[in-house]
Amino acid sequence: MEECMARDLRKIQNVVLVCQGKDCKKNGAKDVLCGVKSALKDLGAHRETMIVKTKCTGQCKKAPVMGIQPHGVWLTEGTEKSAAATIHATIGERLKIVS
């Protein structure tokens, strides 16, 4: 968290929300978080992306849940692999367009 606070928030292009509610934790939120971090580093997008661990999002039957904003993309029943793939498909695609 300290690393996020040291960053210039004006440079943040993406916000990844990872639910940390009880059901999400029980169903693999930690793995989803690992997939997100790994994919962001692979893309070189970790400095322009803020990861926010949220409280319960109310989507417990679909746990674990993550969202990518401002893209409006949500992943339910996520795994480390599907989280990484979603990051690559969403943020990675935006990076290709910008480049």
Cβ–Cβ contacts within 10 Å for residue 90, how many?
18
**What's the confidence (pLDDT) of residue 6?**
57
- Rounded to an integer, the average pLDDT of 34-63 is 97
Answer for the pair 48, 14: CB distance below 8 angstroms, yes or no.
Answer: yes
Asked whether the predicted pLDDT for residue 2 surpasses 50, the reply is no
Higher pLDDT, 57 or 99: 57
Neighbour order of strands in the sheet with 66-69: 49-54, 14-19, 66-69, 73-75
pTM (predicted TM-score): 0.89
**What's the confidence (pLDDT) of residue 94?**
76
Which tens digit of pLDDT belongs to each residue from 17-38?
999 999 999 999 999 999 999 9
Domain covering 2-98: architecture:
3-Layer(aba) Sandwich (3.40)
Coil, strand or helix: which one is 77? Answer: coil
Asked whether the predicted pLDDT for residue 49 surpasses 70, the reply is yes
